[in-house]
Structure 1
Amino acid sequence: MLDRSQELERIALIEALNVLDPALGRALDPITELAAFTFDVPIALISIVDSEAQHSISRVGLDSVVRVERQWSICACAIESHAVLQVEDLSQDPRFADNPAVTGPEHLRFYAGAPLVTRGGIALGALCLIDRKPRVLGEDETRQLQTLARLVVNQMELRMSVGRRDAVSGLPNRQQFQSDLGVLGRQDGGHQYTGVLLDVFDLQSTTDAGQVLGLKPVESLLRQASLRVQDMIGEIAQVYHVAATRFGFVLRDHSHEQVEELLDRLRERMRRPLMVGSIPMSPQFHAGVCAFHPEPEQTADLLRKCLVAMHHALQTDACVCWYSKDRDEYLRRRYRLASDAGRGLSQDQFTLVYQPRFDLSDGLPVSAEALLRWTHPSLGPVSPAEFIPVLECTALMPTLSRWVVEQAVQQAARWQTLLPGFAVSLNLSPRDFDDEHLWQRMAERLQMYGLPPSLIEVEITEGQWLHSHPAALPQLRAMAAAGVRVAIDDFGSGYSNFGYLAEVPISHIKIDRSLITGLADSRTARLKVDAIIRLAEQLGYRTVAEGVEHEAELELLRAWGCDEAQGFHLARPMRAEAVTQLVLACRAGPLADA
């Protein structure tokens, strides 16, 4: 009698291998027919025994009997036998004498069943011979039946392995990994398991090598890498080739320290140079690790969790990263934001607020920056610092930007009635410039609302992205030629190259808040900001300080000749109506304020 863990493993393997697939039964029909012919019996079956019943997936005779309840299954006894189960006369055996197939019209008497045992030692069912009269198999016949049973298992495993091995390394692939995890998930939960996912080569470098050398040397490189992993891991765990440059395996009953010690040794081995063509290449080593229990919910999600950990290792250039629930939730939240944004736009969850910008020569507000806000129905207010980078990676960003342009231009046009000359600035992302008609659409909106182009400012981030977006520069030049002001946002936080700015028709430089915050207390920041303002003035650019939060910062900026400023010390982002009231009050002067 199989114990509970063995039975669970057996049932799980039946599910994983999908051996009840009718196509497999049809493929095995020739063996069943050969068995019936060779042993001269009217009935031959290939059966699979699961937790509930015996299923005849291939048969000669007994065409109407496809499924037998397990309590009446003779093959259920055969799978617990280490050899052929042979019963000369079922009616004389107490185990089967009252079986309906024996007492009923089928009148079965002889039975011989060879267990179908996998290479892992698990019996899935039986190849059985049945006759309606008693008989006995000789020793040679018994061996022949066992040979046919092994042939059945080989055919099963061969058919099930199609599409389950990597063509380059010959290792089981991701599909087999997931299938084997499914089997593991139904075993006894008394052990602790650790899943490991390795990335052993930079994919871009491998792709570049393939373009130069061809695929064969690169495939040789991957085979060498797979052999190294197998040499170290093969004796303790099955290694899987789950993606082009990635391998996975599962460790049993390894502590946290033992896992890291093993991976440290593997890293030393993997980092030794490998030859591709005549070029020595240095493999990389990044591992994502996740501890889990062999439960279906955890095994089904293991590969994804290892991937989360491995990408964290790649992004931080760490050798090993363990799965982090917090990071996983962060990534899931990002995905949710990306998937919910389209619905949010159609349901008016997005709004614009405006942060006034002040001229430092007279202290009057001269423009306002349009800032996007999102109030998610279940997550509440979501910071633009969180959702903008997410949406910039999606196809929705250009649509959202068009909405921002439409709303901002409308508001700028409305302000001209009460606040003549008050301008609006808006942010455009690199993705927006992939739309070759961006400026054309904006120009149409300006004309529709009768708004002079000089009252719109476009803010773009500094950097080399312009070279990878060939449509950007021509459109920026067309905007500037029409009178639209172009500003470089967050200057000083990254690329910060005045020579690069010569390529772009800008009129304003917005100094990043990271240089302004704490300006009064940092000599280095003061030197940088002073130099930026002086050089920008000589080049004919107006300067705008972002993130001004203290009077001391404002005084220094005025003293250095900075043209404009914005920040919480001057005015927080606010709704359009509040901007109107603020600007009117400032324009009316001190007496009106009093």
Structure 2
Amino acid sequence: MPEQHERELVRLNRALRTLSAGNRALLRMADEQALLHEMCRVIVDTGGYAAASVAYAEHDETQRLRWMAGAGIDIALLEPHLYTWADTPEGRNLVGDCVRSDQAIVGKHIDDPQYALPFADMRAMLLQQGFASFTAFPLHIEGQVVGVLGIAAAEADAFDEAEVKLLGELADDLAYGVANLRTHIQKLEAQATIARLAYFDALTGLPNRTQLVEVLEAAIASAKRQRHSLALLQLEVGHFREINKVLGYRAGDELLQLLGRRLSAEIQADEILARVGEAEFALLLPNGGADYAEQVAQRLLAMLREPVEVAKLTLDPRVAIGIALFPGHADDAESLLRRANVAMHQANLASGGYAIYAGGQEQEHMRRLALMGDLHRAVREHELRLFCQPKVDIASRRVCGAEALVRWQHPQHGSVRTAEFIQLAEEAGTITPLTNWMLEAAFSQIYAWHEAGLDWPLAINLSGHDLYDPRLTERIRGLFATWGIAPELIQFELTESALMANPAAGLETLIHLKQLGVKLFIDDYGTGYSSLSYLQKLPVDGVKIDQSFVMPMVVNGNSATIVSSTIELGHNLGLTVVAEGVESAAIWHRLVALKCDVAQGYLISMPMPAAQCQAWNSTWSQNGLAPA
């Protein structure tokens, strides 16, 4: 009896050594195959077992077993034979029985005829190598047996109850490690998809507008330093909507892909071709003036006049090309793009199919200067109006807050586009007074709602300039003291691009804001260029998926993928995920299925004057809290 007890202790100790070494291997390995090999090596070298191997079970019609790794036994000797876990004579073996039964097959003797090996020469080989007993443990991932960890011992009486319990934990740890590595790879792939879709057009594979603007800005900066010109061509496919209407969207997509390949084949190595609109391409010529730009336009028009076959029909695509030049027409990326677009529309009437931007720049410049001056007056003389767009919690369908928006009703020009006058405010240095007006209006409105029994959190947008304003936090702290409202009723939204302009300063401001007790959201997520590693460092509570991904998600597989991936990644980081641009019931139902948290868009409500929110909320509640 003492000898038996001693043997049991020896076996228990080696199982404990194996489990401990196996857990250390789980922490070190970053590759699935390497993990399998290392675990088998640990079992043999550290644990002192005779052999270890891992087989994966194919869950298809073949029900095949694939040997993935081994130590103490050459799995190359096993690979020539067909192993299966099917309930057939070939599949009635230790490994196959383990998969089918989903139970550990414990301590079976190699020469036990009940567990005969599937091939006659295998028993002799294993006995010759000194294997006496064998135990197989199922590997579980998400409730399915994905494989088997097999361990052989030289002792015929190995694998008692205590030893098997520890080795079973090792098998579970191995399965967890494999699942964790696979999840990590899936997250990396999703992150790569997000990055790719943020900078490349999913249909043509070309750079998108976001990437073109960045490249164009860099090219303009280089041209300024080196004192040379550059040109931007913008191309539009004529009658594209009619092609979509008559032949269908698939035919339209096929046409764009074909034209994209044709154009790519014609450009030089240093030139950048991008898709910048539904049926629009842009071509950056980083070294060239008007003469070279015209030569390129003429060559492209000649090439594009060749008929193309789409949907079994031969089409004669008509293309208009507009040309804008730096520095003659504009000295920044957005202006150059805008003027190339104007020239492109002028080309519809011009001979030759292309036109160089001409005229209008002086009027545009004067108009912008006038609006800049008027914006000072608008802030001072209360021409601005606070609008709100409600947000709805998807699970409960209850209103969970709103986004604060500003509108400018100009006395002469009428309604001025919000994006335009905010850009003007940033350029003119009046963004801080505009932000101050917005903060005052929002705090005042929240107080009025609270007094009326409506406690909606209100989200306020902050620009990049606001983030680097050293007085911002104290100003907000003073507003809390003035109005006496709870911090949870205030949220702030910041775009990725604003944060990435100066990440260190942006992070410092976010930390100070977070100390006030407010919630912070990353706005327009997916259109900027922040990495997930940077996102993890930010003290934010949520992300808002940009509407450019949400709106087409029910008809565009790539958009659906990025929305789904962002929701999953956001939840993995413990963030609330808000979907912007929810304009149809189909989008709503897709977001419900993806377990998105919050929805915002025209399906729920268009932006409305803040004074109308209470009446709208009553109507929403009376209609059963469900979107139409």
TM-score (norm 1): 0.47
Bigger Cα Rg:
1
